[in-house]
Amino acid sequence: MFQVRIHGRGGQGVVTAAEVLSVAAYLEGKHAQAFPSFGSERMGAPVVSFCRIDDKEIRLREPILEPDALIVQDPTLFKAIDVCQGLKPTGYLLVNSNRSLAELHLDAIAGQLPKGHVLTVPASELALKHVGRPLPNAALLGAFAHLTGIVQLKSVAAAISEAFSEKIARANIAAATAAYDAVANAPAAA
């Protein structure tokens, strides 16, 4: 089972990200379970969502306490909560930022995880460029696909098509693809 935990703030599409990821996995014939950690709906409040992916039926219903991968849509959260709590030693960390790992003070964590498992990607900027709004979730999923290989980009694209109307889907797919390519073409991480 591969467990993904997504952190962000209300209004950034954290819940949708988990759902779209689950649909992508489903389209590849896998079992997937996506759910938010539920709190009162409020823009700007920290939000966490979860996605489990497995080849067999997923019976577990607890929150993801030991994620295989973390997607962080808003790096300001690192100061607010223990984002990386429970991240497995072989885990992945994908952060939405146009700054470097060092600037984000994530060097230490990157050092503890396998090489190439920790990445930043300027998802908000890519979203602004392709979608016109700084909603980073689609771009992050594109980057995630390349980073972990758990789902393919075309599945992410298909899932995005199901979730949004045609015009918006196309724009989000473009953002996802751009992020995917950015990760693919990045120089080998430290």
Partner 1 sequence: MLKQIEGSRAMAETIGLCRPEVICAYPITPQTHIVEGLGEMVRTGEIAKCEFINVESEFAALSVAIGASAAGARAYTATASQGLLFMAEAVYNASGLGLPIVMTLGNRAIGAPINIWNDHSDAMAMCDSGWMQLFAETNQEAADLHIQAFRLAEELSMPVMVCVDGFILTHAVEQVDIPEQADVDAYLPPYEPVQVLDPQAPISIGAMVGPDAFTEVRYLQHYKQTLALRLIPEFAAEFKKQFGRDSGGLLRTYRAEDAELIVVAMGSVNGTIKDTIDAMRADGLSVGLVTLVSFRPFPIAALRETLVRARNVVVIEKSLAVGMGGPLANNVDLALRNVAGAPQVHSVIAGLGGRPITSASLHRVLRRAFVQPWEGSHFLDLNEEIVAKELHYVRKVRRSGPTAENLLRRLSQAAERAAE
What distance in Å separates the CA atoms of residue 166 and residue 176, rounded to the nearest whole number?
15
* Exposed e or buried b per residue across 5-14, where buried means at least 16 C-beta atoms within 10 angstroms of its C-beta: bbbbbbebbb
What distance in Å separates the CA atoms of residue 55 and residue 13, rounded to the nearest whole number?
26
Interface residues toward partner 1, by CB under 8 A: 18-19, 22-23, 26-27, 31-36, 38, 40, 58-63, 65
Q: Is 119 helix (H, G, I), strand (E, B) or coil?
A: strand
What are the E-state strand segments in 111-157? 118-121
Q: Least Å distance between CB 6 and partner 1? A: 13
**Choice between 61 and 167, CB closer to partner 1:** 61
DSSP structural state of residue 15: H
- Pull the structure tokens for residue 148: 């972990």
**Choice between 27 and 153, CB closer to partner 1:** 27
**Choice between 24 and 101, CB closer to partner 1:** 24
Q: Least Å distance between CB 68 and partner 1? A: 16
**Choice between 34 and 169, CB closer to partner 1:** 34
Q: Least Å distance between CB 53 and partner 1? A: 11
Q: Least Å distance between CB 129 and partner 1? A: 29
